[in-house]
Structure 1
């Protein structure tokens, strides 16, 4: 059912806290814990019912000294996370007691678990599909409520369920084809060609739907980096503070106040964005400012998106044009700031002079908050390439899943063409077996 050895690890973050947990999983989990546990009532963990919790102490068998006061949960296979016997020792949440308990567990025969090995065993023992195993990591690393919500949906089988249903329907079609191969006289009765065509078209529509509505899960998990760049004193730091809704960056009327990059995270419509406020870009007047400008340009190079901020109250300058030219290969929004202080040029004039699309220009007043909602909307549109969807339409795919779905799409199209060309059933069977193999990789059923 799983590996024959018993693994153990600290399952809570290291540091000080109310509770820390040492988890064991494997055939010897209960016996190892029982050898260290002492109950005031004389209970033996080997004799207690499954899914019960017990008060006592972890005791060093050699010295006879208590290591920690604990609550121990005992869960017998198969109704556990790994489908193996699992014991969780709830200790006080300090580094020393947790490590000491883990050392005793390892000295009794358990092996230190590798990173992710509990979830690996859950997958290998059929407790979860491979996409659900990936969803568990997404839950742990979620930076926003949307990320957590979508990860939980994956854990509940939102992706694996339609794939398994699709695989079952294609298996049924393959069975009909194989009957036709074994009994040529009953080929049309076993699987009418029209039924085969309908089944394949429905399968292709399902795959097309998943690819069309699938979004890059990396965006939700890791977010995007947005560099805020422009000349000195155009309002970059004020814009950062407005988006964060707190005074994180120092703001003064003196040009060049910001000398180094400042990074902060913000959530916009469920997406995590790392905002980078940079030093004003101009001809440096001293060594410190030169370093600040260099770091600003480095931030632009590593950014996913760029906000180029201009001062509406001042005419466009050669420096504005130089910065804009540097950004031609980047996804950029032109932010015309200080709308409340008057305009020296229009949005259309700025777009034409800096050679950007008019749709990429937003007028705002960072100080008053005017236009910020429109700016946030443009940022989200830029992320999804103009295709905004309601949250219930979001469906996350990682690179592996998208690649396998595209392979499935290609083979299904080829199979449909073969059916319409009336190729032999033997060739159609080969096509369908290939599709099923790829779908099995998506759920983990074909992995070795």
Structure 2
């Protein structure tokens, strides 16, 4: 892998910020072995907090000791607190067993803690993409990636999806405009990046099948592009066994994976991970050094306190309970749609995540229906055009989220949508 060819000029020029190196040396030193007169880290005796007591919902008391509180209120390494980085690596080994974890060359797996996966995705795109670049993005897709990519001035090539994930025919059709042999040319305009949501796609709820992932990965090898695997819903898969990730099959070191605690632990603590080849993660860390410096240290320490209390078995038990919570809500909204919408919409039962993607029959574009008429009727959905690159195109789709509304309100909301559609179709027929 020639990682240099994937980087933008700005990213290639990034090097470690010297004072950040001093912080890392100081933090890695054995206590008492080093007199540090180098960094401008504030003295923790000036911080107003000394300790904290947290209580789990089950009544378990967790103590954030003075030592841990001081660490939480202090600067840490841009890659993340060392214990948080190591915990993240252990998680990837347990869940994905990345082939690159055992390499001894520069493609070896590495990990950076970020302020949620959104920061990781934004900085990674800035690392790899510049104005005029061709970028592969599945459609429909997570609006957050469109908000990153579109202002960058890149050319978004939309890869169609179906119930198994990205369509191979669509991907091949797009790539047929280039000769794979040209991919070695640094100046070729062949796409170098493919963004995909691996499990519980936002908005479709689709988890890409293992067979489809194998096919996509083979094409990535053929055309030598990187796969950006966004997977915040990995732990909310409703199948008995989670579908293996792209990271788990990454023998080359061409996958950058984004994980998030937002859906399973806390959205507000803003803790996520970027995992990928060491040379690319290093450039991400260099960007962190001159931007946010590091993810919130106090959030990292609180996460570690919870994770160490749980252990691996406790973490798995928690994610299983989260999955069951959303499975129940998925079943409620599907049953409601079966009851009220069978004549007005089409949908695929989501196999993971928090969303139901519906095509409204007889409706050319849902934007006005959702943002005006449905809102007036007291129910709110997301219009389909929010999830496509060209939002000027009409879309008959809507996204319904079953994550937050009270269970009894889910059915009420679907009923209100059905009543509205019945009225709209009558008006259309009479007109």
Normalising TM by the smaller chain, what interval?
under 0.3
Please give the TM-score of this superposition, normalised by the length of structure 2: 0.22
Please give the TM-score of this superposition, normalised by the length of structure 1: 0.21
More relative contact order, 1 or 2 (CA 8 Å, 6+ apart)? 2
Larger radius of gyration: 1
